[in-house]
Chains A and B, each alone.
Chain A
Amino acid sequence: GQNIDQPTEMTATEGAIVQINCTYQTSGFNGLFWYQQHAGEAPTFLSYNVLDGLEEKGRFSSFLSRSKGYSYLLLKELQMKDSASYLCAVRDLSGGSYIPTFGRGTSLIVHP
Chain B
Amino acid sequence: GAGVSQSPSNKVTEKGKDVELRCDPISGHTALYWYRQSLGQGLEFLIYFQGNSAPDKSGLPSDRFSAERTGGSVSTLTIQRTQQEDSAVYLCASSSNGLAGVYEQYFGPGTRLTVT
Distance in Å: Cβ of A39 to nearest Cβ of chain B: 11
Main secondary structure of the interface of B (DSSP, over half): loop
On chain B, the number of residues with a Cβ less than 8 Å from chain A's Cβ atoms is 25
Contact residue among A30, A45, A103 (Cβ-Cβ distance under 8 Å from B104): A45
Contacting pair B106 A45 (CB below 8 A): yes
Contacting pair B100 A91 (CB below 8 A): yes
Distance in Å: Cβ of B21 to nearest Cβ of chain A: 14
On chain A, the number of residues with a Cβ less than 8 Å from chain B's Cβ atoms is 23
Q: List B residues at the A interface (Cβ < 8 Å).
A: 4, 33, 35, 40-43, 45, 48, 50, 56, 58, 91, 98-102, 104-110
**9 extra interface residue pairs, beta carbon distance < 8 Å, beyond A33-B104, A87-B43:** A31-B101, A45-B105, A45-B106, A98-B99, A99-B98, A100-B105, A102-B35, A103-B42, A104-B40
Q: List A residues at the B interface (Cβ < 8 Å).
A: 30-31, 33, 41-45, 48, 50, 87, 89, 91, 93, 97-105
